[in-house]
Structure 1
């Protein structure tokens, strides 16, 4: 069986690329098609694959300026020749699903999210853009939305990374989707051998939609220690005036250092509304609880008062109250072994079983897939 994996762009190893990496382990002979690829930024598993770039890669400075070429990506996808392929799996968060598959091929789309910058977070992105982009966005986004909806009809079946995303798929594309949660490398994390230290942890890109501002302001009010992992520097400078004396910006850290911070923290602070959220699962795999905003993917990974605490108001006051409740109820003493056991529900093997089950439902069974 000849398999094509379509991914929006390969310029780093974030959540979408880790899903693609696991798909490559299921289909090691597959060909990856992507708009632009920086092999130096990829894992050994992805670097070993056959990777074909679309026509976008031939545009000036495409590896750096690929977001500027978003409006050209639909035509680039339609220019991919998939003749002879039996199975097409598109990995969608940027333009990927709009390829034209052969008539007899099965096309499944694993959707991390419909493009947030043209749908639910369009106004956030536009308000933060420069003046030229703000003027152009209404016209470009309108055309991209039209293509995004019509190209959804080319897909035979959708798989969402969470129930939250499945509802968004139905809202914008009017398509149903099954749910297979993304794989989390839980074995890379371990429970600490000592008592947790007296700090809370924030991890992730310092992007507005992840709401680091809420965490910064809440911990300035609380006078508690908060360690912030992530960049970029521009956002650190923007957030710094609001931070309290016990908040530290650590910037980017190594994977080993991150694992150490996770297993020794009091809890993870997670105030954004995410599609799924791998970081809370990684922290729970380290035996530590999570304080998360009670909407989005966190509701599917964090069990309120069992593996952490969910709060309702996405404000600094709401988060500060949640931290006080967390401490008053002794939730920092949740059993680390039970937290890790819960995190194992999102292990790579569970993801693989889910994908194989979806393929089986569409009449495709791999040679090493045991009969039901």
Structure 2
């Protein structure tokens, strides 16, 4: 089978990129070409995710410092993605949270999109984006949103079958595009994030990319009101500079910066619990934490409502504010969740092996239906 695999961009090796790598592994041995706006992976990430596949990029690949300024290029991304003009493929398979589904492709080719999310910044999280991102505050942004919404709706019509990464996203696809979708949960590396049943240390852990929507600053403020409880932070991102001043007088909060997977997993395994305050559509890291047998304290929203067994593998808190998080931490202190095997068992329904089987089966079904083959 000749396959065009499309991904928005390759910058950091995050959850969406690991899904891309798993999909490419499913079609190992097939004739696969990867299309993306730009690829700035380091050598290690390239080998892990892209292997030896041919990667074709847009003009963004040649723009200096594109990894730092790409967010400001959103207005031209739809046009750049359309320029690829795919022909003579059996399957176009995209993973998209931005513009990948809008790639220029012959409509006679089966087109399947694994949708991580309709574009948040133009649909249901528009208000948050305007309030917290520099681009969102630009005076032409509202005009641009009108344009990008029209483009997003139009290109949704080019996709023959949508796959959603959660029930939450399936509902958002229906609300945004008036299209149904098959739910296939993302792959979680349950073998790598192994069960730890040893004694836990006396700290809470918050980890991930330091970007505004993760609300790590809110978690920090909550723990500044709980000086008797230790918080460890792991991660970095374009929001990290502000943390130097915020943490200056917070002796109960330790910021470790970036840590490689092996060290990060050790911190997860030894934590009392891990904290998640973002509005996530799925949240792979939250499931990876549970795979270690570590309980979570997570926002009662989106993917967390599907991946956290409230009262067994973690506690959900209702509001995205300090008061609600503090109440959840106090609840955990009073009634800790210590059945580490039960916590891990909850994560196993999201394994990477399950993902590969479900994806391959569904794509095969779509292929037979679309081309009328048995």
Task: Give TM-score scaled by structure 1 length.
Answer: 0.92
1:322 aligns to 2:328 (yes or no): yes
Partner of 1:236 in structure 2?
243
Q: What residue in structure 1 maps to residue 35 of structure 2?
A: 33
Aligned equivalents of 1:15, 1:98: Cα separation in 2? 21
Deviations along 1:78-99, one digit per CA (max 9) or x if unpaired, are 2113111010111111211112
Structure 1 residue runs of 5 or longer lacking an equivalent are 366-370
Which runs of 5 or more residues in structure 2 are unaligned? none
Aligned partner of residue 69 in structure 1, secondary structure: helix
Question: Equivalent residue for 2:184?
Answer: 180
3-state SS in 1 of match to 2:200: coil
- Once the two structures are superposed, what CA deviation does each residue of 1:147-170 show, in whole Å capped at 9, x if it has no partner? 011110000011111111111111
Q: Distance in 2 between matches of 1:209 and 1:179?
A: 24
Match of 1:154 among 152, 155, 158: 158
Taking the aligned partners of 2:25 and 2:135, their CA distance within structure 1 comes to 44
Q: CA deviation at 1:311?
A: 1.4
The residue that corresponds to 2:47 in the other structure is 44
Structure 2 distance, partners of 1:194, 1:207, is: 32
RMSD, matched Cα: 2.1
Name the counterpart of 1:11: 11
Please say if residues 130 and 136 of structure 2, whose CA atoms lie closer than 8 Å, have aligned partners that are also in contact: no
Q: CA deviation at 1:324?
A: 1.1
Answer yes or no: is the 8 Å Cα contact 1:13–1:43 preserved in 2: no
Q: What does residue range 62-211 of structure 1 map to in structure 2 within 5 Å?
A: 62-130=66-134, 134-192=138-196, 194-211=198-215
TM-score (norm 2): 0.91
1:227-263 deviation line (CA, Å, top 9, x unaligned):
011123324236436x742111111111111000000
The answer as to whether partners of 2:309 and 2:346 remain within 8 angstroms in 1 is no
2:260 matched residue in structure 1: 254
**Counterpart secondary structure, 1:186:** coil
How many residue pairs end up in the alignment?
363
1:75-134 superposed Cα distances (whole Å, 9 cap, x missing partner): 222211311101011111121111233233110100111111222222322223448952
1:368 aligns with: none
Deviates more, 1:141-150 or 1:196-205: 141-150
* Residues 199 and 143 of structure 1, relative CA distance in 2, 3 Å threshold: same
Deviates more, 1:113-122 or 1:168-177: 113-122
TM-superposition CA deviations, 1:208-231 (whole Å, max 9, x none): 211112211222222211101112
Instruction: Using the TM superposition, name which of 123-132 and 279-288 deviates more.
Output: 123-132
Alignment of 1:273-288 (within 5 A): 273-288=279-294
Q: Would you say the 8 A contact 1:6–1:90 is kept in 2?
A: yes
The 1:293/1:64 distance shift into structure 2, 3 A limit, reads closer
Contact map agreement 1:39 1:47 (CA 8 A) in 2: no
Structure 1 residue runs of 4 or more that deviate by more than 3 Å after TM superposition = 58-64, 129-133
